[in-house]
């Protein structure tokens, strides 16, 4: 089964051709980071416009690089949500047009399901598993007992962890996207500022208090004429984030008796998080899986991987498919048919 997948939920225009859920024949990603940099974040209107400009070329690229034509494609998959509605619609309309004109089934895919299935490309998923999804828009803990069987056990109540990274970066004058910059700077500083470790009950997260603590600390110190070492801010913030993420993740692994941990999303690139999780999971005999960076950040190969399993369930949409800015991941495998 060969699937052409389209992903435009945020600021990358991505198209991929994936065979049998694991073999990536091509994966084209057009990132818009440069266009959004001067605004310090993704501007939805600009993102939509760039998707429109790039869509056709990225589709052509993906087919060409895979050495296939639409005749070789069994289905067209597309991210249905969550994401920026205007951005999603560009991908959905392109996918619909392709599916309709070539008479192929259309498969709607949940963006987070895609992030989790990125790991399936590297190595087949083993169940039960726990997935920690950490990106610019998401911070979630998901338990899976089987394919397409998702149970969201925790999520952020306010800022996503990547978003907190980007905001903290701005307060210490680092360019967007701030995550990689803070990560790098953190290695040059020390955890001396005693930022809070926001631990909520259960498995939910909250990062806006931590972000405010960083801003307030900087403000107070500057007012008193004290200097703050930005590297210490980065190190202290990062230590707090990693503590919270690791604590919740390890607690969930233990109480759900799970030995397989998947980490995905752009923040999975974080060196501190990787190092700490590697150590903690090794000590507990837990298998840790983190896909390579190109599969951690937004891409369409992950959508094609998830779509393979939806194809087997005949989870098809008709041509009235609409984008959804928010959408539950907890689809029960039984009521997939719409």
Binding-site ranges for ligand ATP (CB under 6 A) = 9-10, 83, 135-138, 162, 165-166, 177-180, 183, 265-267, 269-270, 297-298
134 appears as a binding residue in the annotation = yes
> Which of 193/267 has CB closer to ligand ATP?
267
* 298 is a site residue for Fe ion (CB under 5 A): yes
Least distance in Å: CB of 297 to Mg ion?
6
Task: Answer yes or no: are the C-beta atoms of 86 and 44 closer than 8 Å.
Answer: yes
Least distance in Å: CB of 172 to ligand ATP?
14
179 appears as a binding residue in the annotation = yes
Angle CA(121)–CA(122)–CA(128) in degrees, nearest 5?
85
**Phi/psi of residue 283, nearest 5 degrees:** -65, -20
> Which of 266/323 has CB closer to ligand ATP?
266
137 appears as a binding residue in the annotation = yes
Least distance in Å: CB of 56 to ligand ATP?
22
Interior/surface letters 27-41, b for 16+ CB within 10 angstroms, e for the rest: bbbbebeeebeeeeb
Which of the choices Fe ion, ligand ATP, Mg ion, none does residue 232 contact, using the CB cut-off of 5 to 8 A by kind? Answer: none
CA-CA-CA-CA torsion sign (58, 61, 66, 70): positive
> Which of 104/110 has CB closer to Fe ion?
110
> Which of 108/136 has CB closer to ligand ATP?
136
Q: Can you name the residues that pair with 21 across neighbouring β-strands?
A: none
266 appears as a binding residue in the annotation = no
Least distance in Å: CB of 25 to Fe ion?
22
* 163 is a site residue for Mg ion (CB under 5 A): no
Strand arrangement of the beta sheet that strand 260-264 belongs to: 149-155, 139-146, 129-134, 260-264, 287-289
Least distance in Å: CB of 259 to ligand ATP?
25
The pairing of beta strand 129-134 with beta strand 260-264: parallel
Q: Can you name the residues that pair with 110 across neighbouring β-strands?
A: 81
* 7 is a site residue for Mg ion (CB under 5 A): no
- Tell me the C-alpha distance between 137 and 156, whole Å: 10
270 appears as a binding residue in the annotation = yes
- Tell me the C-alpha distance between 120 and 113, whole Å: 11
> Which of 119/135 has CB closer to Fe ion?
135
3-state secondary structure of 242: helix
Closest CA to 107 of 278, 328, 321: 321
Q: Tell me the residue ranges of DSSP E strands in 8-83.
A: 12-19, 23-31, 75-81
111 appears as a binding residue in the annotation = yes
Binding mask 133-162 for Fe ion (x = CB under 5 A): --x---------------------------
Binding-site residue set: 111, 115, 133-137, 166, 179, 183, 270, 298
Residues forming the site for Fe ion (CB under 5 A): 135, 298
Binding-site residue set for substrate: 133-137, 166, 179, 183, 270
Binding-site residue set for Fe cation: 111, 115, 298
């Amino acid at each position: 089964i060969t699937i052409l997948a389209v992903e435009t939920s945020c600021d990358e225009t991505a198209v991929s051709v994936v065979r049998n859920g694991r073999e990536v024949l091509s994966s084209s990603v057009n990132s818009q980071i440069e266009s959004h940099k001067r605004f310090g974040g993704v501007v939805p209107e600009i993102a939509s416009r760039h998707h429109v400009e790039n869509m056709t070329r990225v589709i052509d690229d993906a087919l060409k690089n895979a050495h296939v034509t639409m005749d070789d494609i069994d289905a067209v998959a597309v991210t249905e949500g969550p994401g920026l509605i205007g951005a999603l619609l560009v991908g959905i309309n392109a996918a619909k047009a392709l599916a309709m004109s070539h008479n192929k089934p259309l498969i709607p895919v949940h963006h987070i399901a895609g992030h989790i299935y990125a790991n399936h490309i590297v190595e087949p998923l083993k169940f039960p598993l726990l997935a920690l999804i950490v990106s610019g828009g998401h911070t979630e803990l998901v338990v899976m007992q089987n394919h397409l069987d998702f149970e969201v056990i925790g999520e952020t109540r306010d800022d996503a962890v990547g978003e907190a990274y980007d905001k903290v970066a701005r307060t210490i004058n680092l360019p967007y996207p701030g995550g990689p910059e803070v990560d790098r700077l953190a290695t040059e500083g020390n955890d001396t500022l005693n930022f809070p470790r926001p631990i909520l009950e259960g498995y939910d997260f909250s990062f806006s208090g931590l972000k405010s603590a960083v801003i307030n600390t900087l403000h107070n110190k500057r007012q008193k004429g004290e200097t703050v070492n930005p590297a210490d801010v980065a190190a202290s913030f990062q230590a707090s984030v990693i503590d919270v993420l690791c604590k919740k993740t390890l607690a969930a692994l233990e109480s759900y008796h799970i030995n397989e941990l998947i980490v995905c999303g752009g923040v999975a690139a974080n060196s501190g998080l990787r190092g700490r999780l590697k150590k903690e999971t090794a000590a507990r005999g837990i298998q840790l899986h983190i896909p390579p960076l190109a599969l951690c950040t937004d891409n369409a190969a992950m959508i094609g991987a998830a779509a393979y399993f939806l194809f087997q369930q005949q989870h098809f949409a008709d041509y009235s498919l609409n984008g959804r800015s928010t959408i539950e991941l907890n689809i029960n495998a039984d009521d997939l048919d719409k």
